[in-house]
Amino acid sequence: MSLRSRAENRSDGARSRGAADMGRDRVAPGAARALRAARALRRACCGQFGQAGGRPNLAFSPMRWRLTAWLADCNLPVSERVRATLRAHMYGLVPIWLVGLLDLTLINVIGAIRHPTPFHIGLAAFDLALNAARLSALVASYRRAAAGRDTPTDLFITLDHVWCALVGVTTMAAMLTGDPAFQVLAATSAVAVSGGLVVRSYVAPRGAVLQLVVCIAPLGVGALWSGSTLLTILALEIPVYLLVVGNAAFRINRMLVAVMVAEEEMEARAMRDSLTGLANRRALEQQLAERCAGEARFALLCLDLDGFKGVNDTYGHGAGDRLLCAAAACLSDCLGAGGLVARLGGDEFVLVAGGAGEEQAALLARRIVSAMSLPFVLDDGPTVRVGASIGIACRPAGGAEAGAALMARADAALYAAKERGKGCFVVHPEVPARAA
């Protein structure tokens, strides 16, 4: 008989307890709608976070240089997981990246053709060399990330900023040529590039503002230097443009990073039992899938509290809730680091003991049964006594057994332990129960 079946066949009190718990674990409809809206906004503005260039699960190295780390910081207190996602996004939106690269190259080639001076020819040559370096850094970063190796993140960010400075130099040089057609073409290109910078670099607002300044400010300098009245008016508009667009970069950063943090928090709550704070069934299934995909051995312990229904019936569900929280803390202390404690609902718990074989799992079960037999003093309530029955299933190193099959064996062992007197544990496929 499965663990879920026994839960369904319990008394009305135990079933109501489990039903209430499962109700708390579900995400509220309003919260679910908010999560879907957040994801839609995220995709609409900047594509899928964490999927650099459409490639999921690529991890790019953190910045090591002090300056690039400061420039690329999102300027908000976020988790390392969010920071890793933001780093991945700096490598994303490759089409925008390529369009900007080709656009500047075209401007410099046109400038070298229309004004074949050593300076303009040198700009075009430097542009081509810089493009080769940026493409090499991008490809190397993707390949290294796919192989799980360190990526040249600092170099990639530095080359991005050098390229933005080249946009500014190219535009200023165009303003000084006196060629109206080339001036309009270069200025339009610089403004278009600056808009793409805000969309692509919102994850690093400091870096985005610096890129905007080195990209657009030279346009104003060149316009003033040209002596043209119309270009002077354009130059006077540059500070306002930088102020507005730079502020937009910080606003977009705060808005979308807040969306990411909210989504992370909602996903974390979806993996936790709302009463005890332990992992829930979904988190347990994910943990089992990850461990079964590896080669390391581990043990699975299914546990029921003996006498929990009596506490609920005698002292009420409030006392039962406090007892479950106390039992959760006790189990976490017994297991320690390197494992997982999950609550499936009601008084049903599962422990995943990493690296444990049958002997270690039996020692852990003895420790748990002993600890659970001690009286629990509930906050502002009575002192109660319960016990624990445990079923154990072990997966050896290199085993091929799936998580569901392992759960079924541990559940069968737990059922045998409860049939044979409770307060004990059974290791599958062992027949007699061991007294704790």
- Give domain status of residue 63, yes or no: no
Q: What is the pLDDT of residue 200?
A: 75
Tens digits of per-residue pLDDT, 168-213?
999 999 999 989 999 999 999 998 888 877 777 778 889 989 999 9
Domain final residue, candidates 270, 302, 325: 270
Q: By C-alpha distance, which of 382, 23, 82, 5 is closest to 260?
A: 82
- Give domain status of residue 93, yes or no: yes
Beta strands in 88-174 (DSSP E): none
Q: What is the pLDDT of residue 91?
A: 86
Distance CA 241, CA 245 (A): 6
Does residue 296 sit in the same domain as residue 246? no
Does residue 249 sit in the same domain as residue 111? yes
Distance CA 113, CA 243 (A): 35
Domain final residue, candidates 255, 270, 285: 270
Q: What is the pLDDT of residue 377?
A: 86
Please report where in the chains the tokens 């805000």 appear, as a residue.
Answer: 198
- Give domain status of residue 57, yes or no: no
Domain count, the chain: 2
Q: What is the CATH number of the domain that holds 313?
A: 3.30.70.270
- pTM, two decimals, is 0.64
Angle at CA 383, nearest 5°, toward 374 and 18?
Answer: 85
Distance CA 362, CA 305 (A): 18
Domain final residue, candidates 215, 248, 270: 270
Both tokens assigned to 244:
């507005």
Does residue 264 sit in the same domain as residue 291? no
Whether the CB-CB separation of 267 and 237 falls below 8 Å is answered with no
- Give domain status of residue 212, yes or no: yes
Does residue 220 sit in the same domain as residue 182? yes
Distance CA 305, CA 1 (A): 18
Q: What is the pLDDT of residue 36?
A: 53
Within 8 A by CB and 6+ apart from 148, the residues are 59
- Give domain status of residue 237, yes or no: yes
Backbone angles phi, psi at 306, to 5 degrees: -85, 125
- Give domain status of residue 65, yes or no: no
Please report where in the chains the tokens 């360190």 appear, as a residue.
Answer: 150
Tens digits of per-residue pLDDT, 76-104?
788 888 888 888 888 877 888 898 999 99
Does residue 297 sit in the same domain as residue 169? no
- Give domain status of residue 43, yes or no: no
Q: What is the pLDDT of residue 11?
A: 39
| Binned average pLDDT, 10 residues per bin, the chain of 436 residues | 40 40 44 50 43 58 92 83 84 85 94 95 96 94 91 94 95 92 92 81 86 92 87 89 87 84 82 88 89 86 91 87 91 87 91 88 91 86 87 85 88 89 79 41
Does residue 134 sit in the same domain as residue 225? yes
Does residue 278 sit in the same domain as residue 266? no
Does residue 91 sit in the same domain as residue 235? yes
Q: Is 177 helix (H, G, I), strand (E, B) or coil?
A: coil
Residue 351 structural domain: 3-26+273-435
Backbone angles phi, psi at 308, to 5 degrees: -65, -40
Does residue 375 sit in the same domain as residue 411? yes
- Give domain status of residue 402, yes or no: yes
Q: What is the pLDDT of residue 263?
A: 82
Does residue 257 sit in the same domain as residue 334? no
Q: What is the pLDDT of residue 109?
A: 96
Tens digits of per-residue pLDDT, 35-92?
554 455 444 444 433 344 444 468 899 999 999 999 988 877 888 888 888 888 888 7
Does residue 332 sit in the same domain as residue 369? yes
Does residue 295 sit in the same domain as residue 240? no
